[in-house]
Amino acid sequence: MTPVLEAAGLRRTYPVPGPRPWRRSTREAVVDVDLALEPERSLALVGESGAGKSTLLRLLLALEVPDGGSVRFRGAAVTPRDPGRLRHDVGVVVQDAGSSLDPRATVRTSLREPLECLDGWADVDHDARVDELLAAVGLDPEQADRRPHQFSGGQRQRIALARALIANPSVLVVDEPFSAVDPATRAHLVDLLGTLARRSRLQLLLVTHDLGVADRLCDDVVVLAHGRVAEAGPIADVFARPRSTAAQDLLGAVGRLPEVRA
């Protein structure tokens, strides 16, 4: 079967200041990356800071042009100039999503915006859809006319999640899910994301360095290190028998809690 989202030979290099001002140097952020989001499966992109996760994500979302290789969405090549169905079918929750909301706009205005921009929503009652999504993420639709600062950090994350889901995407991309909230809130939000994904047959593409979140929500994993794919496969296999040093390091850094004796 054709993968839903597929990268082949992706490569991205950035110019960086060299040792001498007149000698330009470059840094390879993403090198020959192949990956596939297979139908009906969810994928986690894991790696340390600087491994190339965010650059790879920008390439996959056709926000940036690769220096080499290609990205295909449902079999069709996508580029920033011609993203095809990608903008319609992929919802995105950016990192620190709570602060990505327009502070001057009410929650209702922020949530209606995708419906006004994307095809297929002209005949739908936008306000009803906003209420439906706020309820789905566990917020009171009565609060839709408030502004972001009137909500807590965890609630703002829920609003950003509702905004990403409002146009009914088939794929949801989440960059560092809920890293800015405390663990109890994060656990709630991770559960909520899992429930929503199951309920609406939504495929997740998570970018994270939290292996617990990846393990809870995804089927497959791609481990990135120094811009390259160090290891890829079903999470159960990779986490149980990591072969690459990168995966072993990440798994070795997972903290431990005292074992509960039965």
Partner 1 sequence: MPALELLDLRVVVDGHPAVDGVDMVVGAGERWGLIGASGAGKSLTAAAVAGLLPPAAHATGSVRVGDTELVGAAGSTLQRTRGRAVTLVAQDSATALHPLVPVGRQVAAPLRHLHGLTRRAAATRADDLLAEVGLPDGTARARPAQLSGGQRQRVALAAALACDADLLVADEPTAALDPTVARDLLAQLDRSIHSALLLVTHDLTALTAVCEHVAVLDHGRIVERGPVATVLTDPQHERTRALVDAARSLVPRTRPA
Minimum CB separation from partner 1 for residue 244, in Å? 12
Identity of the residue, 103 or 255, whose beta carbon is nearer to partner 1 in the bound complex: 255
Identity of the residue, 126 or 209, whose beta carbon is nearer to partner 1 in the bound complex: 209
* CB burial of residue 145 (10 Å; 0-12, 13-18, 19+): exposed
Minimum CB separation from partner 1 for residue 236, in Å? 5
Amino acid symbol at 178: F
Identity of the residue, 118 or 187, whose beta carbon is nearer to partner 1 in the bound complex: 187
Chain CA centroid to CA 16, Å: 27
Is the separation of the CB atoms in 169 and 202 below 8 Å?
yes
Minimum CB separation from partner 1 for residue 181, in Å? 8
Minimum CB separation from partner 1 for residue 248, in Å? 7
Could you tell me the CA-to-CA distances from 243 to 158, 232, 233, 250 in Å, in that order?
A: 36, 10, 11, 12
Residues in contact with partner 1 by the rule CB under 8 A: 48-49, 153, 181-188, 190-191, 209-216, 235-236, 239-242, 248-261
Identity of the residue, 85 or 241, whose beta carbon is nearer to partner 1 in the bound complex: 241
Identity of the residue, 172 or 250, whose beta carbon is nearer to partner 1 in the bound complex: 250
H/E run at residue 153: helix 153-165
Minimum CB separation from partner 1 for residue 242, in Å? 6
Minimum CB separation from partner 1 for residue 240, in Å? 5
**Phi, psi at 27, each rounded to 5°:** -125, 130
Encoding tokens for residue 100? 């990505």
Query: Going by C-beta distance under 8 Å and a sequence separation of 6 or more, which residues neighbour residue 39?
Result: 1, 2, 3, 4, 203
* Angle CA 234–226–82, to nearest 5: 75
